[in-house]
Chain A
Amino acid sequence: EPEVTQTPSHQVTQMGQEVILRCVPISNHLYFYWYRQILGQKVEFLVSFYNNEISEKSEIFDDQFSVERPDGSNFTLKIRSTKLEDSAMYFCASSFTGGWANYGYTFGSGTRLTVV
């Protein structure tokens, strides 16, 4: 069964440093997402990406965050100048369709980001 692959599985970074989280979505999927989950809490939407541009973003996704699809397979989330409160599990997800016709996301296994 096709998978969404995320690397690294765990990243520890110093406060103020930049991190890049990487994802390889399912190859024929067209919509890509980043979500985060602070330990024990709900899954929170960050951003959706379609046709090489951001289609929606949440209030969490401020100027500190950016996304990119640098080639035909990778989808990255960059967090500039990390803060302690950025510590969370970051999930990448993809879907073939979007909006009301979304037939469910496939999530990756996540990157646990720890900011110290």
Chain B
Amino acid sequence: QVQLQESGPGLVKPSETLSLTCTVSGASIDSNTFYWAWIRQSPEKGLEWIATINYNGETYFNPSLKSRVTISLDASRTRYSLKLRSMAAADTAVYYCARDRVRWRHFDHWGQGTLVTVSS
């Protein structure tokens, strides 16, 4: 059974960097059948794709966020991470990690999501 679980702080101060980790179980990050993504959701912007990484460490970014985002694979190959720099109130959202089926480019498994609030 594939499971994804986000972890990280629920509160970040303006201008700081958000760091989130997604722990994957029941599936291999090393598979070339799947890529691994971060998506966020806010009432203002709805669902917004942030970034994707594949088993080779190749990365893809939403152009609107690219300058502030880093996505990486953990050496354990069971986790991947997101860093979003220069956080602002507009970055307040529920952040999801999700698995991308490469052949069809959709998200077939999602984490439960973690609410990140930007506030001083």
Tell me whether A and B are bound partners.
Answer: no
